[in-house]
Amino acid sequence: MTGRYRGILASAGTGKTYALTTQLLARFLAGEDPSSIFAATFTRTAAGEILDRILRRLCAAARGGEGLADLQRAVEREDLTADDALAALGTLGRSLDRVSIWTLDAFLVRVATAFAVEIGLPPGWRITGDDEDAQLRDAAIARVLRDGGKDAILPLLRMLKKSEGERSVRESLLGSVNAVHALHMACGDSAWEHVRPIAGLLDDAQIAAAVDAAQRAPLAMTKGGRPHARWVTAHQKLMDIVLRKAWGPLAENGYAASALAGGTYYGLDFPEELREVLARLAQHGRAFITGELVKQNEAARQLAERFESAYGDLKQERGAIRFDDLPRLIMNEDLATVREELYYRLDARIRHVLLDEFQDTSVAQFRVLEPMLAEIVSDETQERTLFYVGDPKQSLFGWRDAEPALISRMGEWWPQIQTQKLARSYR
């Protein structure tokens, strides 16, 4: 398969990296300017490994024999000679500074550096590590608590009550706030607006009236004309719940739920008068709990916003930026409209893109790449290429929001991409 836009989906050991280095070799051997080729992977080790393989294969081919034959087959060039490989190696060696085999993070750092002003990065910004980030988050929580007082502490306490294990309060605080913050950054307000208040909330007088009515209402009778024993027990339990104002258990009570749903209890229908009053009480329980959830979500939203504000200020003050901040910041600037400027500031006109371990790309990272990929696959000069490899089942960067589904959907978004599955393992 020799299309200009290709994707390979394959399991471990099937030769994905070999395929990627072959593509890179083909371009170098064709005399492409190294700075026009951009290959991305996920770790510095992997980036080093790709260049290592390219140089190794060229060295082997330059010695002739099987190394040359292997390269001829791989790049589908029977006319390739050992001297050609040697010359390509010499040229590549003398232009090592222009070879762009980077991690995706390194690419994003370059883009961010080029557009630091536009995306709002503070002067002298730098990528910070986990330790400093944890300190910044601690300090941000302290600011939120200092400025927000008890209003800020209460939602935190609610979250801490749910957290388990023997972690320290600091770790629990950090973990809870991080979770809320991550959700907020990923979904915005929609995360907190998913649960809406429902109707049916009763005031104290209405509850008292409903209890009174429920206590007076007839229960279902046995054939013998006596109240059904299970009904009596369930009814007493429900009244106890209502009198204790235990709205959580009320919302989960099966007896009341059946009445609300118009169902039966132990095979017997609810007398209409009873059904009506129990339904009212059951609906109140649900409305109350839902209302609590709404309040809780609102508190969490406010906490996430306050935290983001304090954390963002601290990062700005110290110029401490996380790798994960970059895609979001870059996306605030619409790179689709400034591609010329991007190439100008990067000192490189990227014509060929090769992506390794594509399954580890996050949605945010993909959004940064997307305009460039779209430009390549829409190219009318027939000279630009896109190549990616990955294994949706082998994503290792879940902790950094990798989205393996992206690789599977590339073909849907851009039908001109030819996708191929490699099955044979060489391990």
Partner 1 sequence: MARINRVFLGWDRPLVHTAAEHLARLFKVPGGGVDCSTVTLIAPGGRLGRQIVEEMARSHRAVLGEFLTIDRFVSRVCHSPRLAPDWIRRLAWVRAASALSTQERAALWPAAVQNSPVQLLSMAQAIDAAARRLAGDGVSFEDARGAVVEKDLPDAERWSALSLLHGAYAGQLGAMGFVDPWTHRVDTGRRASELEIGSVVLVGVVELPGLFREILRRGHGEVTTLIAAPPGREDLFDELGGADPSAWQQERIVIADAAIHVVEGPVQQAQAALVLAGGDNAAPRPDAVVIAVPDEEVLDAIERLGRSLEAPSDGRMPLKVRSAAGVSAVMTPPGRLLRLVGEFLADPEFPAFSRLLRHADVERCVRRAAMQRGDSIIREETNLLAALDAYGADHVHGRIDGMWVGGKREDPLRTSLLTAIYQGVAEMLSALWMDGRPAPARPISAWMSPIVALVRLVSAGSVDEQEVAAMRVIDTTARNMHEGARFGDLEPQVPPDAAIRLLLGELSRAQIPAPFDPEAVELVGWLEAVHDPAETIILTGMNEGCAPREAPADPLVPEALRQALGLSTRRATLARDLCLLTQAVHGHPRVEIIAGRRRVDGSRLWPSRLLLAADDATVARRIGWFLADPIESPPPLGDIPKLRAQGPTRDAFSVMPIEPHEALREVSVTSFKRYMRSPYEFYLREVLALEDVPPLASELEARAFGDFLHRVLERFAGSSSARSSDEGAIFGELRELAAVEAMVQFGHQPPTAVAVQLEQAMYRLKGFARWQAERARDGWEILHVEWKAPRLTLHPSEGELRVKGRIDRIDIHRARGEIALIDYKSGEGDKSAIKGMYRAASTSLFGPWTDLQLPLYRAMASPLAEQHRAKIVMGYVWLPKSGEVEWLEGTWEESVLDQGIEQAEELAGRMLRGEWMHTGNATPTDGPTAALLGVSIILPESEAEGGEE
Q: Would you tell me which residues interact with partner 1 (CB under 8 A)?
A: 44-45, 47-49, 51-52, 55-56, 58-59, 62, 86-87, 89-90, 93-97, 110, 113-117, 119-124, 138-139, 141-142, 145, 150, 153-154, 156-157, 160-161, 168-170, 173, 316-317, 338, 340-341, 344-347
Query: Could you tell me the smallest distance in angstroms from the CB atom of residue 349 to partner 1?
Result: 10
Q: What is the dihedral of CA 319, 324, 329, 335, to 10 degrees?
A: 130
Cα separation, 364 vs 354, in Å, equals 18
Residue 395 DSSP code: -
Residue 223 DSSP code: T
Cβ 259 vs Cβ 278: under 8 Å = yes
Complex with partner 1: residue 230 or 345, whichever CB lies closer: 345
Complex with partner 1: residue 274 or 342, whichever CB lies closer: 342
Complex with partner 1: residue 153 or 183, whichever CB lies closer: 153
Query: Could you tell me the smallest distance in angstroms from the CB atom of residue 310 to partner 1?
Result: 12
Complex with partner 1: residue 141 or 402, whichever CB lies closer: 141
Q: What is the dihedral of CA 116, 120, 123, 126, to 10 degrees?
A: -70
Complex with partner 1: residue 217 or 246, whichever CB lies closer: 246
Apex CA 399: angle with CA 107 and CA 414, to 5°? 55
Cβ 301 vs Cβ 184: under 8 Å = yes
Paired tokens of 265? 């209890």
Query: H/E element holding 231?
Result: helix 229-243
Q: Which residues contact 146 (CB under 8 A, 6 or more apart)?
A: none
Complex with partner 1: residue 212 or 317, whichever CB lies closer: 317
Complex with partner 1: residue 103 or 258, whichever CB lies closer: 103
Query: Could you tell me the smallest distance in angstroms from the CB atom of residue 185 to partner 1?
Result: 18
Query: Could you tell me the smallest distance in angstroms from the CB atom of residue 341 to partner 1?
Result: 4
Give Cα separations from 381 to 5, 32, 110, 158, 385 (angstroms).
13, 15, 27, 59, 11
Question: Three-class SS of residue 120?
Answer: coil
Query: Could you tell me the smallest distance in angstroms from the CB atom of residue 144 to partner 1?
Result: 9
Query: Could you tell me the smallest distance in angstroms from the CB atom of residue 89 to partner 1?
Result: 5
Cβ 7 vs Cβ 419: under 8 Å = yes
Query: Could you tell me the smallest distance in angstroms from the CB atom of residue 263 to partner 1?
Result: 33
Cα separation, 278 vs 239, in Å, equals 10
